[in-house]
Amino acid sequence: MQSFQVDDVVFGAGNLSFILGPCVVESMKHAMFMATSIKEICDRVGVGFVYKSSFDKANRSSIESFRGQGMEFGLEVLAQVKADVGVPVITDIHEPWQVEKTAEVADILQIPAFLCRQTDLLIEAAKSGRAVNVKKGQFLAPWDAKNIVDKLSAAGCEKILLTERGASFGYNNLVVDLRSFPIMRSFGVPVVFDVTHSLQLPGGLGKATGGQAQYIEDFARAGVACGVEAVFMEVHHNPAIAPSDGPNQLPLDRLEKLLSKLKQIHELINEN
Protein backbone atom coordinates (compact mmCIF):
# COMPACT_ATOMS: atom_id res chain seq x y z
CA MET A 1 0.00 0.00 0.00
CA GLN A 2 1.11 3.53 -0.74
CA SER A 3 2.20 5.47 2.33
CA PHE A 4 3.34 9.05 2.68
CA GLN A 5 4.16 11.68 5.23
CA VAL A 6 2.61 15.13 5.68
CA ASP A 7 4.87 17.08 7.99
CA ASP A 8 5.31 14.60 10.86
CA VAL A 9 2.01 12.75 10.25
CA VAL A 10 2.32 9.41 8.44
CA PHE A 11 -0.58 7.98 6.45
CA GLY A 12 -0.23 4.24 5.89
CA ALA A 13 2.76 2.07 6.82
CA GLY A 14 0.85 0.61 9.74
CA ASN A 15 0.03 3.95 11.36
CA LEU A 16 -3.28 5.30 12.61
CA SER A 17 -3.50 9.04 12.03
CA PHE A 18 -6.23 11.60 12.57
CA ILE A 19 -7.85 14.55 10.80
CA LEU A 20 -9.51 16.72 13.43
CA GLY A 21 -10.98 20.19 13.78
CA PRO A 22 -14.15 22.28 13.58
CA CYS A 23 -16.31 22.15 10.47
CA VAL A 24 -15.68 25.72 9.34
CA VAL A 25 -13.24 28.51 10.12
CA GLU A 26 -15.15 30.72 12.56
CA SER A 27 -12.52 33.20 13.79
CA MET A 28 -8.78 33.45 14.38
CA LYS A 29 -9.27 33.14 18.14
CA HIS A 30 -11.47 30.06 17.85
CA ALA A 31 -9.15 28.32 15.39
CA MET A 32 -6.09 28.92 17.55
CA PHE A 33 -7.91 27.64 20.63
CA MET A 34 -9.18 24.53 18.87
CA ALA A 35 -5.87 23.70 17.17
CA THR A 36 -3.89 24.20 20.37
CA SER A 37 -6.33 22.15 22.44
CA ILE A 38 -6.44 19.28 19.94
CA LYS A 39 -2.65 19.24 19.61
CA GLU A 40 -2.21 19.02 23.37
CA ILE A 41 -4.62 16.07 23.47
CA CYS A 42 -2.94 14.29 20.55
CA ASP A 43 0.48 14.82 22.12
CA ARG A 44 -0.71 13.26 25.37
CA VAL A 45 -2.23 10.28 23.59
CA GLY A 46 0.72 9.93 21.22
CA VAL A 47 -1.01 10.17 17.83
CA GLY A 48 -0.43 12.39 14.80
CA PHE A 49 -3.11 14.69 13.45
CA VAL A 50 -3.83 17.16 10.67
CA TYR A 51 -5.95 20.19 11.61
CA LYS A 52 -9.12 20.45 9.54
CA SER A 53 -11.35 23.45 8.95
CA SER A 54 -13.08 24.71 5.81
CA PHE A 55 -12.89 28.30 4.54
CA ASP A 56 -16.16 27.78 2.67
CA LYS A 57 -19.01 25.29 2.93
CA ALA A 58 -20.38 25.63 -0.57
CA ASN A 59 -23.03 22.91 -0.34
CA ARG A 60 -25.06 23.95 2.68
CA SER A 61 -28.72 22.97 3.00
CA SER A 62 -30.12 26.49 2.77
CA ILE A 63 -29.24 29.89 1.35
CA GLU A 64 -29.53 31.06 4.96
CA SER A 65 -26.87 28.63 6.22
CA PHE A 66 -23.47 29.90 7.39
CA ARG A 67 -20.82 29.10 4.76
CA GLY A 68 -17.76 30.65 6.36
CA GLN A 69 -15.98 33.98 6.13
CA GLY A 70 -14.39 33.48 2.75
CA MET A 71 -11.29 32.02 1.17
CA GLU A 72 -8.89 34.88 1.91
CA PHE A 73 -9.75 35.04 5.61
CA GLY A 74 -9.92 31.27 6.00
CA LEU A 75 -6.50 30.68 4.45
CA GLU A 76 -5.03 33.46 6.57
CA VAL A 77 -6.32 31.70 9.69
CA LEU A 78 -5.05 28.30 8.59
CA ALA A 79 -1.63 29.74 7.77
CA GLN A 80 -1.47 31.19 11.28
CA VAL A 81 -2.45 27.85 12.79
CA LYS A 82 0.41 26.18 10.89
CA ALA A 83 2.90 28.81 11.96
CA ASP A 84 1.93 29.15 15.62
CA VAL A 85 0.66 25.70 16.57
CA GLY A 86 2.99 23.78 14.29
CA VAL A 87 0.54 21.34 12.74
CA PRO A 88 -0.29 20.53 9.09
CA VAL A 89 -3.69 21.66 7.81
CA ILE A 90 -6.36 20.44 5.41
CA THR A 91 -9.26 22.34 3.88
CA ASP A 92 -11.90 21.86 1.16
CA ILE A 93 -11.68 23.17 -2.37
CA HIS A 94 -14.70 23.38 -4.64
CA GLU A 95 -13.46 24.79 -7.94
CA PRO A 96 -10.25 24.41 -9.97
CA TRP A 97 -9.32 28.09 -9.63
CA GLN A 98 -9.08 27.68 -5.84
CA VAL A 99 -6.32 25.06 -6.04
CA GLU A 100 -3.24 27.22 -6.58
CA LYS A 101 -3.99 29.68 -3.78
CA THR A 102 -5.10 27.00 -1.33
CA ALA A 103 -2.05 24.84 -2.03
CA GLU A 104 0.16 27.69 -0.83
CA VAL A 105 -1.23 27.07 2.68
CA ALA A 106 -2.88 23.65 2.94
CA ASP A 107 -0.79 20.51 3.24
CA ILE A 108 -3.71 18.40 2.02
CA LEU A 109 -6.38 19.50 -0.44
CA GLN A 110 -9.77 17.98 0.25
CA ILE A 111 -12.40 17.25 -2.40
CA PRO A 112 -15.94 17.24 -0.95
CA ALA A 113 -18.06 14.14 -1.52
CA PHE A 114 -20.48 15.81 -3.92
CA LEU A 115 -17.53 16.76 -6.15
CA CYS A 116 -15.64 13.45 -6.16
CA ARG A 117 -16.36 12.89 -9.88
CA GLN A 118 -15.42 16.41 -11.01
CA THR A 119 -12.53 15.45 -13.27
CA ASP A 120 -11.16 18.97 -13.82
CA LEU A 121 -11.09 19.63 -10.07
CA LEU A 122 -9.32 16.34 -9.37
CA ILE A 123 -6.72 16.91 -12.08
CA GLU A 124 -5.97 20.45 -10.94
CA ALA A 125 -5.61 19.29 -7.34
CA ALA A 126 -3.30 16.47 -8.44
CA LYS A 127 -1.07 18.90 -10.32
CA SER A 128 -0.58 21.02 -7.18
CA GLY A 129 1.95 18.62 -5.72
CA ARG A 130 -0.01 18.51 -2.46
CA ALA A 131 -1.59 15.43 -0.95
CA VAL A 132 -5.22 15.05 -2.00
CA ASN A 133 -8.04 13.59 0.11
CA VAL A 134 -11.19 12.72 -1.82
CA LYS A 135 -14.39 11.91 0.00
CA LYS A 136 -16.32 9.15 -1.71
CA GLY A 137 -19.69 10.51 -2.76
CA GLN A 138 -22.82 9.42 -0.93
CA PHE A 139 -24.03 8.18 -4.32
CA LEU A 140 -20.94 6.15 -5.20
CA ALA A 141 -20.26 2.43 -4.72
CA PRO A 142 -16.91 1.75 -3.03
CA TRP A 143 -15.59 -0.22 -6.02
CA ASP A 144 -16.29 2.78 -8.27
CA ALA A 145 -13.90 4.89 -6.18
CA LYS A 146 -11.08 3.19 -8.10
CA ASN A 147 -11.79 5.71 -10.87
CA ILE A 148 -10.94 8.53 -8.46
CA VAL A 149 -7.55 7.00 -7.75
CA ASP A 150 -6.93 6.47 -11.46
CA LYS A 151 -7.74 10.10 -12.31
CA LEU A 152 -5.44 11.47 -9.63
CA SER A 153 -2.63 9.07 -10.47
CA ALA A 154 -2.87 9.86 -14.19
CA ALA A 155 -2.42 13.56 -13.33
CA GLY A 156 0.72 12.82 -11.30
CA CYS A 157 -0.60 12.75 -7.72
CA GLU A 158 1.47 10.44 -5.52
CA LYS A 159 -0.18 11.23 -2.19
CA ILE A 160 -3.79 10.07 -2.29
CA LEU A 161 -6.33 9.49 0.47
CA LEU A 162 -9.81 8.04 -0.02
CA THR A 163 -12.45 8.81 2.58
CA GLU A 164 -15.61 6.92 3.44
CA ARG A 165 -18.41 9.16 4.73
CA GLY A 166 -21.52 7.06 4.36
CA ALA A 167 -23.97 6.37 1.54
CA SER A 168 -27.47 7.78 1.05
CA PHE A 169 -30.05 5.48 2.59
CA GLY A 170 -33.53 6.71 1.82
CA TYR A 171 -34.27 10.33 2.68
CA ASN A 172 -32.22 12.36 5.21
CA ASN A 173 -30.14 9.39 6.28
CA LEU A 174 -26.77 7.76 5.65
CA VAL A 175 -25.43 4.29 6.25
CA VAL A 176 -21.83 3.05 6.35
CA ASP A 177 -21.13 -0.20 4.50
CA LEU A 178 -18.14 -1.68 6.32
CA ARG A 179 -17.17 -3.55 3.15
CA SER A 180 -16.07 -0.21 1.72
CA PHE A 181 -12.96 -0.16 3.91
CA PRO A 182 -11.25 -3.31 2.58
CA ILE A 183 -12.55 -2.62 -0.93
CA MET A 184 -11.02 0.86 -1.09
CA ARG A 185 -7.84 -0.25 0.67
CA SER A 186 -7.38 -2.75 -2.16
CA PHE A 187 -6.73 0.20 -4.50
CA GLY A 188 -3.37 0.67 -2.76
CA VAL A 189 -4.03 3.99 -1.03
CA PRO A 190 -4.67 4.83 2.65
CA VAL A 191 -8.34 4.93 3.61
CA VAL A 192 -9.86 7.47 5.98
CA PHE A 193 -13.12 7.02 7.88
CA ASP A 194 -15.04 10.27 8.22
CA VAL A 195 -16.96 9.33 11.32
CA THR A 196 -18.84 12.53 12.04
CA HIS A 197 -20.14 13.18 8.52
CA SER A 198 -21.28 9.57 8.36
CA LEU A 199 -23.62 10.46 11.24
CA GLN A 200 -25.21 13.41 9.48
CA LEU A 201 -28.90 13.52 8.72
CA PRO A 202 -28.58 15.57 5.49
CA GLY A 203 -31.24 18.26 5.38
CA GLY A 204 -32.79 16.58 8.39
CA LEU A 205 -33.67 19.86 10.08
CA GLY A 206 -35.35 21.33 7.04
CA LYS A 207 -33.01 24.25 6.43
CA ALA A 208 -30.05 22.63 8.15
CA THR A 209 -28.35 19.28 8.54
CA GLY A 210 -29.12 17.16 11.56
CA GLY A 211 -26.88 14.57 13.13
CA GLN A 212 -26.47 11.79 15.69
CA ALA A 213 -23.30 12.61 17.57
CA GLN A 214 -24.19 10.11 20.30
CA TYR A 215 -22.91 7.33 18.02
CA ILE A 216 -19.50 8.83 17.21
CA GLU A 217 -17.55 6.59 19.57
CA ASP A 218 -19.29 3.45 18.29
CA PHE A 219 -18.63 4.28 14.65
CA ALA A 220 -15.02 5.26 15.25
CA ARG A 221 -14.25 2.02 17.07
CA ALA A 222 -15.81 -0.02 14.25
CA GLY A 223 -13.80 1.77 11.57
CA VAL A 224 -10.48 1.33 13.34
CA ALA A 225 -11.29 -2.33 13.94
CA CYS A 226 -11.79 -2.64 10.16
CA GLY A 227 -8.24 -1.43 9.59
CA VAL A 228 -8.56 2.13 8.30
CA GLU A 229 -5.38 4.18 8.13
CA ALA A 230 -6.91 7.39 9.47
CA VAL A 231 -9.98 8.72 11.24
CA PHE A 232 -11.60 12.04 10.37
CA MET A 233 -13.76 13.73 13.00
CA GLU A 234 -15.06 17.25 13.23
CA VAL A 235 -14.52 18.51 16.76
CA HIS A 236 -15.91 21.60 18.48
CA HIS A 237 -15.62 22.96 22.00
CA ASN A 238 -19.41 23.50 22.06
CA PRO A 239 -21.27 21.90 19.14
CA ALA A 240 -24.54 23.48 20.29
CA ILE A 241 -23.29 26.88 19.14
CA ALA A 242 -21.31 25.74 16.09
CA PRO A 243 -22.48 27.67 13.00
CA SER A 244 -22.14 24.60 10.76
CA ASP A 245 -22.71 20.85 11.34
CA GLY A 246 -23.06 21.21 15.09
CA PRO A 247 -25.37 18.18 15.52
CA ASN A 248 -22.74 15.72 14.30
CA GLN A 249 -19.53 17.23 15.72
CA LEU A 250 -17.66 15.63 18.59
CA PRO A 251 -17.48 17.73 21.77
CA LEU A 252 -13.86 18.53 22.58
CA ASP A 253 -14.17 17.09 26.08
CA ARG A 254 -14.89 13.62 24.62
CA LEU A 255 -11.87 13.59 22.31
CA GLU A 256 -9.02 12.39 24.53
CA LYS A 257 -10.78 9.33 25.88
CA LEU A 258 -11.86 8.32 22.37
CA LEU A 259 -8.40 8.77 20.82
CA SER A 260 -6.88 6.64 23.57
CA LYS A 261 -9.39 3.88 22.93
CA LEU A 262 -8.87 4.01 19.15
CA LYS A 263 -5.11 3.81 19.60
CA GLN A 264 -5.57 0.70 21.75
CA ILE A 265 -7.82 -0.95 19.17
CA HIS A 266 -5.37 -0.18 16.39
CA GLU A 267 -2.48 -1.65 18.34
CA LEU A 268 -4.54 -4.75 19.14
CA ILE A 269 -5.48 -5.55 15.55
CA ASN A 270 -1.90 -4.95 14.40
CA GLU A 271 -0.31 -7.38 16.88
CA ASN A 272 1.64 -10.23 15.30
Domain 4-269 is found in CATH 3.40.190.10: no
* Position 96 pLDDT exceeds 70: yes
| Domains in the chain: boundaries | 4-269
Query: Of 163, 56, 49, 154, whose CA–CA distance to 107 is shortest?
Result: 49
Tens digits of residue pLDDT in 172-217: 899 999 999 999 999 999 999 999 999 998 876 666 678 899 999 9
**Alpha-carbon distance 14 to 1, whole Å?**
10
- List residues bridging with 109 in a β-sheet: 91, 132
Tens digits of residue pLDDT in 101-160: 999 999 999 999 999 999 999 999 999 999 999 999 999 999 999 999 999 999 999 999
Nearest 5°: phi and psi at 35?
-65, -45
Determine the distance from the C-alpha atom of residue 57 to the mean position of all C-alpha atoms in its chain, rounded to a whole number: 13
* Position 78 pLDDT exceeds 80: yes
The pLDDT of residue 60 is: 66
Tens digits of residue pLDDT in 159-176: 999 999 999 999 989 999
* CB of 15 closer than 8 Å to CB of 48: yes
Determine the distance from the C-alpha atom of residue 131 to the mean position of all C-alpha atoms in its chain, rounded to a whole number: 13
The whole model's pTM is what? 0.96
Please enumerate in sequence order all residues whose Cβ is within 8 A of that of 186, keeping only pairs 6 or more positions apart, or say none.
Answer: none
* CB of 101 closer than 8 Å to CB of 70: no
Averaged pLDDT, 224-236: 98
Please enumerate in sequence order all residues whose Cβ is within 8 A of that of 125, keeping only pairs 6 or more positions apart, or say none.
Answer: 93, 99, 109, 111, 132, 152, 157
